[in-house]
Amino acid sequence: DVVKDTDRRVFMRNYRTKTDDMKWAQNGIVATVINGEAVPVVHNRITDAGFDDLVLIPMGAHKVFVRSSVGDDAMAIVNSAK
């Protein structure tokens, strides 16, 4: 039996962060949904409280990414609610 030497290559994705992507991510916050609440239910409660421009993006498990639909800083919006 002859063992052939094969050329094995590993391709790595090359991702360069764009300025717009960084700004988008920096204006949002990661939050944890507690008590087993469904994301749409939590979003409805946030909207009912008067925060119409906040968007919840499910990230898996109990995490959501909270961002403003108009591009404002989500943390500033959350802090203004206190």
Q: What is the pLDDT of residues 15-58, one digit of tens each?
A: 888 998 899 899 999 999 999 899 999 999 999 999 999 999 99
The lowest-confidence range among 8-12, 36-40, 52-56, 60-64 is: 8-12
> pLDDT at residue 1 above 60?
no
**Nearest CA among 57, 53, 59, 56 for reference residue 76:** 53
The average pLDDT across 73-79 equals 92
Q: Do the Cβ atoms of 29 and 74 come closer than 8 Å? A: yes
Domain definitions of the chain by residue range: 28-80
22 compared with 6, residue with greater pLDDT: 22
